[in-house]
Amino acid sequence: MVRKLGSQWPAMDSADPPPPSWQPGPPPPPGAWVPPPAAPPQWNPWGAPPPPAGGGPGAPGAIPGWDPRPVRAPTAVGSGSFRARGVGELLDGAFTLYRRNFLLIVAIAAAVQVPFALIQLALYRAADLSGHLSSINTTLQQINARTQSGLYASSDQIDTLKGDAGALIGTFVLVFAIQYLVVRPLAEAATTRAVSDRYLDRPSSVGSSYGAALRRLPALIAMTLLLTLGATALAAVVIVAAVVAGAGGAVLVGLLALVAMAVGYVRVRVAAQAIVLEGVSGVRGLRRSWSLLRGAFWRTFGILGLLALIELIVSGIVTLPVTAATSGLDSGSRQLLQTALGAVATVFVAPITLITLTLYYYDARIRREAFDIEMLAASL
């Protein structure tokens, strides 16, 4: 035996016989089956064979808890994966989600808007709205005729005018209160819940959406009352300025109040979404919206302007031709038609804004709070 200097393994002398395991066996007879060579063993620290390619946790021989398939976050139905979007992408995602869930969203809107239209029509009929409007028109013509003759309006005409105007104002205030304290919050909350469920790829229905809306209705009413109180306070400031500083001061204060109202309206525009989706109170919902939209005033203002323009165009397409074709009808028939067309336009047009605002709420959370990373971590 000869060992080479610096070699790790001993060299083999040509006179030494090879080890027994290296001895070749006899060749197989012609035509005999020869087994294929065995594959070299793969190292596995778990002591079990690795799962087959493309297999999952339930594949034969899989390592417990190991899954070779890539982990993905839930995708937004109709708008792609979770990521920040531009204005055009946001509107495109809203229309796509509306189209893919058309029946669900329209059913949610109709479930509250159609009964409200019937209640509104019943109140108008009970208060004889068309009769009061006709009486006001006749009284004003009589007062105008007396004025041209050099006479003042009689006390009977003034009393008639006050009674008709009071009936109209009382009816409109009642309808307005029902709409903005019950109908609108319910429709907004139910649509927001349904859109959020579909955006997060969760099941949704009309019943579950309105169940969530009813639970959040008190907070939404509180938010509406707070906003109404703020607008009333600004109007009172303008009136006081007009009394104290005159017309010039009133104009200046009025402009400042208008700017303050515009800023406040834009900054709290996703408060309802925060109240419904995060379960916070009315005050905390306003604060939450103010925080999420910080630094995004002009972007939000532009989105709201586009939504208002879209609603105006679509509503005009729905209502104007029919209204023009029935202009010769009596006041009662026109009132019935306008109420019906208003309900139809609200059912089909109002969800566009609500869908977009819900997606914008998530977009703001992605930009400010990395909501996309949070959803990815939740899916792991």
Per-residue confidence (pLDDT) for residue 95, from 0 to 100: 93
Per-residue confidence (pLDDT) for residue 344, from 0 to 100: 83
Per-residue confidence (pLDDT) for residue 57, from 0 to 100: 47
Residue 248 located in a structural domain: yes
Q: List, in order, residues 6 or more apart from 126 with CB less than 8 Å away.
A: none
Residue 121 located in a structural domain: yes
Q: What is the CA radius of gyration of the chain?
A: 37
Residue 306 located in a structural domain: yes
Per-residue confidence (pLDDT) for residue 268, from 0 to 100: 94
Residue 185 located in a structural domain: yes
* Distance in angstroms (rounded) separating the CA atoms of residues 227 and 268: 9
Residue 186 located in a structural domain: yes
Per-residue confidence (pLDDT) for residue 47, from 0 to 100: 46
Query: Which residues, given as ranges, of the chain have pLDDT below 70?
Result: 1-82, 322-333, 371-380
Per-residue confidence (pLDDT) for residue 27, from 0 to 100: 66
Per-residue confidence (pLDDT) for residue 2, from 0 to 100: 47
Residue 229 located in a structural domain: yes
Per-residue confidence (pLDDT) for residue 278, from 0 to 100: 93
Q: Which of 229, 227, 225, 218 is nearest to 279 (CA)?
A: 218
What is the per-residue burial (b if ≥16 Cβ within 10 Å, else e) of 216-229? bbebbebbbebbee
Q: How many structural domains comprise the chain?
A: 1
Residue 39 located in a structural domain: no
Per-residue confidence (pLDDT) for residue 222, from 0 to 100: 94
* Structural domain range at position 180: 87-379
Residue 8 located in a structural domain: no
